[in-house]
Amino acid sequence: MKILPDKDFFVPIRSMALIRAFSKIFILLFVVFAFVVTSLAVNLFIGNFTRRRKIYTRLTMFSSHLCLKIMGVKLKVKNRPHLHKKNYLLVTNHTGFIDIFVVASQFPALFITSVDMRETPGLGQLTEMGGCLYVERRNRSNIHKEILVIREALVEGLNVVLFPEAAATSGEKIYPFKKTLMTAAAGTGIEILPAVINFRKINGEHMSDKWRDSVFWYGPMSFVAVAWRAACLKSIHVEFEFLTPLICHTDEARREVALKAQHMVESKYAPIPFPT
């Protein structure tokens, strides 16, 4: 994904939207700065790796909650489980960056992301400070080691978030869930928790293709351009619904479990079709 602005970045906007966007970005940059400084301090003074990762998840949760408030996101959460009693491998749909804040704001968790993201200037450093787990999607030769790293985090009692579509999408539909990384929970007794994220309203209007590129970051789109358009918005209403947990008893069962999780998410997802 691109970080620099694309050709549609500099679009005419009203003066109030301009003021709103600059105000939000200024405050967000302050939150990011505080996040970086605190993460560096944790890395410097906390020697125990497991304890350090747990602190990272709490810090990410707190920072994400602030980011949602700053961006004007009104979040409705449905069927929230007792996340303090057990940990999960959470799987949900993915359309960009706002949904990451949505998930992270609800419970402390490590996110699985790609090595591509780790290599992205700026965002890569932030993901490392957030304690992300990385997978190499361009080369599957190390997949077994990557699964073991994810399994270790789960066994240590940490929540782990997986976007099983493997990439952010345009929201037109739920894409097939990749089953391999779900193997990390197989045989551990740790439940796989499907969830669905729906963008319901933007600036008081029902979510539609009109607003897609203001809140979704997918394909070759520039992150800066999408973040700018999102900052110009007055309000974003998002619904985050937890579904029924699943158990993957064996490695062989992951295909069935992945398909069931996908169908559960699809049944609750409101697609945003492209105009014909």
Q: What are phi and psi of 185, to 5 degrees?
A: -90, -10
Query: pLDDT tier at 10 (50, 70, 90 boundaries)?
Result: very low
**Which tens digits make up the pLDDT trace of 178-234?**
988 998 999 899 999 999 999 999 999 999 999 999 999 998 888 899 999 999 999
Closest to 194 in 3D by CA, of 151, 150, 152, 241 = 241
Q: How many CB atoms lie within 10 A of CB 268?
A: 17
CATH topology of domain 15-268: Glycerol-3-phosphate (1)-acyltransferase (3.40.1130)
Per-residue model confidence (pLDDT) at position 5: 52
**Residue 228 and residue 259: Cα distance in Å, rounded?**
36
Per-residue model confidence (pLDDT) at position 39: 92
Residue 13 scores a pLDDT above 80: no
Could you tell me the residue ranges of all domains in the chain? 15-268
Residue 19 scores a pLDDT above 70: yes
Q: How many CB atoms lie within 10 A of CB 201?
A: 16
Q: How many CB atoms lie within 10 A of CB 275?
A: 6
Per-residue model confidence (pLDDT) at position 42: 92
Closest to 242 in 3D by CA, of 17, 54, 75 = 75
Residue 36 scores a pLDDT above 70: yes
User: Exposed, middle or buried: residue 224 (CB in 10 Å: 0-12, 13-18, 19+)?
Assistant: middle
Per-residue model confidence (pLDDT) at position 205: 96
pTM: predicted TM-score of the whole model, two decimal places? 0.89
